[in-house]
Amino acid sequence: MPIHRFPSLIVAAGALLAASCGTVFAQGTLTKVRLRISDSLMRTPHFLCTQTVERSVRMGKGAAAVSPIFRVDAGVIEGKELYVKPADDAGEKALTDLMDVLASAGTGTYAIYSRQVFQTTVASFYDVPEETIDGRKLLRWDFQVPRESSRFTIVKGNARVTAGYAGSFWADASSYDLVRLVLRADDLPAETGIKSAVQTIDWVRSDIGSISVLLPKAGELEVVETSGRETRVRTQYDDCRKYVPKEATKMVDLAATAAAPVITVGAANGTTGATAAGTTGAAAAAGDWLPGKLNLDTALETAVDERTTAVNDTITLKLNGAVKHGGQVLIPKGAKATARVTRISTHNYRAGGYWRRYYLVGVAMETIDAGDRKYRVQANLEIVGPTTDQYYFIPYSQDPAKWGTFVDIMGFENVRDQFSVPVSPGESVLGVGREYLRVPKNLRMVWSTQEPAR
């Protein structure tokens, strides 16, 4: 029967094809945008910005009480959002008040959730029609992060409550640069006393030294409590520059505790160590550094899974054999090591005529418990596997030009030229060539210890 007798069928098929192509195009564009943003976040060096903060509080329909504007230096150093402690009492009180608002509303100013949304796989994204704002064509997506994978933590007294959150982001249609990020949490447990928290961050591409990256330009946080109290915090970011430690600087870490402990950033290498009681990390609490040039043959005890694992999570490993030094057993077989997840990002590579996915997972080993003592560790991942169900490779370790296991399988050699990932001392980056991120328990991971910079 001639096909022209079924025009409705042709129209329906055409519509279905157009819809499918539109979905594929939208997904492809989303991938490009997230890669663009993730690449910027990974390349951003330690930095400080001068923040101008204005805070107002209103009860019900009454007039808002506006606090004096204050300025504070803050930035992201070693993955932590830190504030320089003001020298005067008035500035210190203003910063303490700001910390109380941020902690009670479960937010940082920009670093925490931008990294979870764009550098992990916990968020689900939904296409929204593009918009034109001030003559600028913008792409938009809505997203949602479930409570099970969320790092949205509200501090209530001495307790911490984790909640899911949703939001939207806008990107420039031509450059794919992030323009605005909005986070919304409005389904919060009653015991928090918070009805809703909405945070808006505007972004701009700027230079830090010779590196062009995305940085915050302005932000606004609006918190509505069940009592009717409304708090609004507006922030402007200026004079963003690379952090160069000159002397020991007292700084405040919002994420560490509800009390926002003071820590000291040293001039030697920019490392941080908590000085408030009860806030010292595992590595700082350990004893001597493990000597260099030792091989640590380990098995992963904590699975890494895109559905549950996030940046800064702790994972554990078990030694497959004893470690000897100077003819003596230094660490027994079965000893436990702890490591920290430093980054998770999703990327694509071309293999033949197809685009395929792979993940980069940053891991930094921190301590090994030898029973009678605990050692601090700086080590590089050298060997992974072998394994039969996934492909792993080691694109970056102590030498960014060094590529390890399976790099030349399935076209991974094409990945070499895509990224220049800055790697911190002691950080290794594991590549996972799979359409989803699953690093199972018992994966063999062999490390070599390094003498840390003193």
pLDDT tens column, 292-331: 889 999 999 999 987 788 888 899 999 999 998 888 889 9
CA dihedral 401, 402, 403, 405 (to 10 degrees): 180
pLDDT > 80? residue 80: no
pTM for the model: 0.57
Residue-level pLDDT at 12: 40
pLDDT digits (tens, 9 = 90+) for 419-446: 555 667 788 888 887 777 888 899 999 9
Cα separation of 88 and 91, whole Å?
A: 5
What's the average model confidence in pLDDT over 10-22? 39
Q: What is the pLDDT of residue 336?
A: 95
Q: Which domains does the chain have, with CATH numbers?
A: 43-280 (2.50.20), 284-449 (2.40.128)
pLDDT tens digits for range 82-124: 888 888 888 888 888 887 777 766 656 565 677 778 877 678 8
- Mean pLDDT, the chain, whole residue set: 76
Exposure pattern of 72-107 as b/e (b: 16+ CB <10 Å)?
A: bbbbbbebbbbbbbbeeeeeeebbebbbebbbbbbb
- Tens digits of residue pLDDT in 207-226: 887 888 899 999 998 988 88
The pLDDT of residue 412 is above 60:
no
Mean pLDDT of 2-27: 40
Task: Report the amino acid identity of residue 296.
Answer: L
Nearest to 309 by CA among 447, 203, 439, 133: 439
Predicted local confidence at residue 354, as pLDDT? 66
Q: Are 216 and 203 in contact (CB under 8 A)?
A: yes
Q: How far apart are CA 114 and CA 374, in angstroms?
A: 34
